[in-house]
């Protein structure tokens, strides 16, 4: 009886975590074509799929051309995180900036930031596809800064690090964001062709 009750609770929690993550579509690691994915030396697919990066509070930067599977893999990992009974949040970066700006204007920014803070994994999809204005960039920096050493962040992007400064209206802010992402090797770059 107790075992069945625990199984039911876990299933209910997984369903709630999956809903709260707001993934746009279900994706899986199964059957994914890894042939053109380049991992950093000494770290690869097995390490990534083990989700150890979440426990170690490391970030991942999925970089490559559009349409190569970066978002697919980010969602698949996020779903695996919720299956492991951890909270995740998924945002297209431009949408997150709009939500942050609206929340700030409406006086609900603290509530939105508290919701994001519940996540062990934050996924920022399409990072840099749309240039950031100064106010949006500052709010985004706040999210990234508050995530630093507290939760893992996956960025999907088609913009290499050296060009991230061009995304922001403020070079110092861009440097601060890059610093948070790569500081002490806390983010691993995975490259899609």
Question: How does pLDDT run across 13-34, given as a tens digit for each residue?
Answer: 999 999 999 999 999 999 899 9
Mean pLDDT, rounded, of the chain = 89
Is the dihedral angle over the CA atoms 132, 134, 135, 138 positive or is it negative?
Answer: positive
Phi-psi region for residue 107, left (φ > 0), alpha (ψ -120 to 50) or beta?
Answer: left
Instruction: Give residue 1's pLDDT band: very low, low, confident or very high (50, 70, 90).
Output: low
- Percentage of the chain beyond pLDDT 70 is 94
Taking a C-beta distance cutoff of 8 angstroms, is the pair 167, 174 a contact? yes
Contact between residue 157 and residue 126 where contact means Cβ atoms under 8 Å apart? yes
Q: What mean pLDDT is predicted for residues 160-188?
A: 74
Mean pLDDT of 53-81: 95
Which residue range forms the structural domain that includes residue 78? 2-191
Summarize pLDDT for 114-171 with one digit per residue, the tens. 999 999 999 999 998 887 888 888 899 899 989 988 999 999 999 887 777 777 767 7
- Selected residue with higher pLDDT from 4 and 76: 76
Question: How many domains in the chain?
Answer: 1
Q: Residue 180: which CATH number? A: 3.40.50.300
Work out the angle between the directed axes of helices 171-182 and 134-147 (0-180°, nearest 10). Answer: 20
Mean local confidence (pLDDT), 41-59: 94
């Amino acid at each position: 009886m107790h075992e069945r009750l625990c199984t039911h609770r876990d299933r209910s929690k997984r369903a709630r975590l999956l809903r709260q993550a707001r993934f746009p579509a279900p994706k899986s690691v199964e059957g994914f074509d890894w042939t053109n994915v380049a991992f950093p030396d000494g770290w690869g697919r097995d390490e990534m799929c083990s989700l150890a990066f979440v426990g170690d509070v490391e970030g991942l930067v999925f970089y490559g051309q559009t349409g190569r599977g970066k978002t697919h893999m980010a969602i698949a990992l996020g779903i695996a995180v919720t299956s492991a009974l951890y909270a995740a949040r998924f945002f297209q970066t431009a949408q997150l900036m709009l939500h942050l700006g609206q929340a700030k204007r409406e006086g609900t920014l603290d509530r939105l930031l508290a919701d994001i803070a519940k996540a062990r994994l934050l996924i920022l999809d399409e990072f840099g596809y749309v240039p950031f204005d100064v106010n949006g960039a500052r709010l985004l920096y706040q999210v990234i800064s508050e995530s630093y050493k507290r939760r893992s962040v996956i960025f999907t992007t088609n913009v290499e690090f050296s060009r991230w400064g061009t995304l922001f209206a403020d070079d110092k802010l861009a440097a601060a964001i890059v610093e948070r992402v790569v500081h002490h090797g806390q983010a691993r770059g995975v490259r899609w062709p």
